[in-house]
């Protein structure tokens, strides 16, 4: 909580903010209520209650016949496969772009100070690359993976492959950003020491920079893999393979007991992946 030096706080800021904020909040609330067609009464009307009842009773008991479960086995495995390769591609995209998008690696800091001193053109080019990488990363991660998946389905056809590409691109953007934050946060002492003994840039990177960043790097990547499993499980809703496709089919056929089975499978899968990932992280 910030309440340090009263002389630093401008009175005008303090006095108007709550009023303006409240007014805007109320405005947004009223307008959003109207725009989002919010209608809680639906659940108390006969039609809504009937639908709710149909859904709840339809879910139980879950369909655990071997016939259905064996049918779900392949999509479940496919989900894991999609998440694995999606994350790999994300690393392949995020790592180089993250490096270029790291301020201290690309344009400033001890690696570049001596070289770029008095070379404005080269410095400008480096800055160009830096902003290009940052812009690409931000573009990749701002477009949701669902939209990527939808576009890749158009570009490469239905199936798990567009799912892999979608996760690769969207998560590449997120990983790249976090990687560059990790790289910025390293301790500079070892780097300076390496430089003073005459190591070249590549050596400084591999012996000074990378070992420091590696644990956080792996840990965050694993964590993203967990997210990728959740994402790839539902990317199928737009035709990109995995369990999502089955959920949609069962939902459209009103087979809610199958939906429940798939959700249970999904739950167990996510729990298993979380467990593996946590174990691996603990080993780091």
Segment contacting other proteins by CB under 8 A, of 93-101, 109-117, 146-154, 198-206: 146-154
Q: Which of residues 257-276 bind other proteins (CB under 8 A)?
A: 259, 263, 266-267, 270
Q: How far is the CB of 113 from other proteins (least distance, A)?
A: 29
Taking the least distance from each CB to other proteins, the nearer of 200 and 280 is: 280
Q: Which of 62, 96, 109, 159 binds other proteins (CB under 8 A)?
A: 159
| Total residues at interface with other proteins (CB under 8 A) | 78
Considering the complex, what minimum distance in angstroms separates the CB of residue 203 from other proteins? 20
The binder of other proteins chosen from 16, 22, 27, 31 (CB under 8 A): 31
Instruction: Record the tokens describing residue 103, joined without a space.
Output: 């301020």
Give me the least distance between CB of 36 and other proteins, in Å please: 4
Nearest to 224 by CA among 162, 158, 145, 153: 145
Closest distance to other proteins from the beta carbon of 193 (Å): 20
Q: CB of residue 109 vs other proteins: minimum separation in angstroms? A: 23
**Least gap, CB of 206 to other proteins (angstroms):** 16
The answer to the question of residue 244 lying near other proteins (CB under 8 A) is yes
Binding flag, residue 91, other proteins (CB under 8 A): no
Member of 94, 98, 101, 163 binding other proteins (CB under 8 A) = 163
Binders of other proteins in range 216-235 (CB under 8 A): 216, 219-220, 222-223, 226-227, 230, 233-234
Site for other proteins in 59-88 (CB under 8 A): 77-78, 80-82, 84-85, 88
Cα 70 → chain centroid = 31
Task: Give yes or no for residue 105 binding other proteins (CB under 8 A).
Answer: no
**How far, rounded to the nearest angstrom, does the alpha carbon of residue 226 sit from its chain's CA centroid?**
10
Contact in structure between 148 and 169 (CB atoms under 8 Å): yes
Cβ-in-10-Å burial (0-12, 13-18, 19+) of 208 comes to buried
23 binds other proteins (CB under 8 A): no
Closer to other proteins by CB, 207 or 267: give it: 267
- Per-residue DSSP letters for 129-187? HHHHHHHHHHHHHHS-HHHHHHHHHHHH-SSHHHHHHHHHHHHHHHHHHHHHHHHHTS-
Residue 191: both structure tokens together: 């780097």
**Separation CA 18–CA 62 (nearest Å):** 51
Helix axes 66-100, 160-184, angle to 10 degrees: 40
Contact 9, 3 (CB under 8 A): no
Which of positions 164-193 make contact with other proteins (CB under 8 A)?
Answer: 164-165, 174, 177-178
Beta carbon of residue 220, minimum distance to other proteins (angstroms, whole number): 6
Rounded to 5 degrees, φ, ψ at 195 are -65, -35
Which residues have a Cβ under 8 Å from the Cβ of 182 and sit 6 or more positions away?
213, 216, 217, 220
**Residue 38 Cβ vs other proteins, minimum distance, rounded to whole Å:** 6
């Amino acid at each position: 909580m910030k309440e340090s030096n009263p002389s630093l706080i401008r009175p005008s800021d303090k006095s108007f903010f709550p009023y303006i904020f409240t007014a805007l909040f109320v405005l947004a609330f009223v307008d959003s209520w109207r725009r989002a067609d919010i209608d809680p009464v639906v659940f108390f009307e006969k039609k809504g209650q009937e639908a709710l009842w149909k859904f709840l009773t339809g879910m139980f008991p879950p369909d655990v016949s071997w016939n259905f479960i064996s049918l779900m086995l392949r999509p479940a495995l496919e989900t894991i496969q999609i998440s694995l390769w999606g994350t790999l591609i994300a690393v392949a995209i995020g790592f180089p772009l993250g490096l270029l998008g790291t301020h201290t690696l690309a344009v400033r800091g001890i690696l570049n100070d001596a070289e770029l001193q008095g070379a404005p053109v080269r410095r400008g080019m480096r800055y160009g690359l830096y902003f290009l990488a940052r812009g690409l990363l931000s573009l990749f991660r701002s477009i949701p993976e669902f939209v990527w998946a939808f576009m890749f389905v158009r570009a490469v056809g239905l199936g798990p492959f567009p799912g892999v590409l979608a996760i690769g691109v969207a998560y590449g953007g997120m990983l790249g950003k976090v990687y560059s934050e990790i790289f910025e946060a390293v301790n500079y002492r070892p780097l300076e020491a390496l430089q003073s003994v005459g190591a070249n840039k590549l050596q400084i990177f591999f012996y000074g920079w990378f070992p420091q960043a590696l644990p956080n790097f792996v840990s965050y990547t694993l964590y993203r893999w967990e997210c990728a499993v959740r994402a790839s499980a539902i990317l199928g809703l737009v035709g990109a393979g995995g369990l999502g496709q089955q959920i949609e089919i069962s939902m459209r056929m009103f087979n809610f007991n199958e939906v429940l089975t798939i959700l249970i499978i999904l739950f167990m899968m996510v729990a298993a992946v979380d467990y593996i990932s946590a174990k691996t992280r603990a080993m780091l």
